[in-house]
Amino acid sequence: MRENYTCEPDVFEGLVLGIGGVLFTVIWLLLCFTIDVPRIITMTIAAVIILIAVMLSIEIQETNFDANDTQVTFSRLRKNTVIRYADITNIKLERRNNEYGSRSGMVRDYIETLTITTKEKTHVFSAKMVIDYDKVDANPADLTVQFENSKFSRLKNCIEERIYINI
């Protein structure tokens, strides 16, 4: 079972990016006041290219999981977390509703958090759920069906089946 998902960034990532952006701007401004005009133009072009690359890398985060017969592998930005089924002691799936105001009105997101506890460590993975609100408006019970068929819910069921097989 292999699925891609939209990772829910944590507060620490946003804080690091914000501080990094401010620090980058301050250093760039200090250098601009000490260098001649042609180098300022070159530095400006380089700064814009770097900022665009950073923004794209944030938006296009390759996040996926791959569950086979013996282990599940979570991949994010070339970092792989491999969890063997034999090491899992507990698995928990939680959902929460995020509501926040934007310029276009209220935005509602459902966030799934899969917590896998192993013998050594606790792994936490969060993802935004894709909800078809048109179906939910037509039939409110369809929200439960969408929860049961979500990517992390299917992964949890797959892992639980494999854990009982491996015992």
88-121 pLDDT, tens digit per residue, is: 999 999 999 888 777 788 877 888 999 999 999 9
pTM given for the model = 0.68
Residues near 164 by Cβ (< 8 Å), separated by ≥ 6?
Answer: none
**Taking a C-beta distance cutoff of 8 angstroms, is the pair 72, 86 a contact?**
no
**70-73, long-range: CB < 8 A, 24+ apart:** 70/162, 70/166, 72/155, 72/159
Tens of pLDDT along the chain (167 residues) come to 777 776 666 555 666 667 777 777 777 777 777 777 777 777 778 778 877 777 676 666 668 888 988 999 998 877 889 999 989 999 999 999 888 777 788 877 888 999 999 999 999 988 888 888 788 888 888 888 888 888 899 999 989 988 865 54
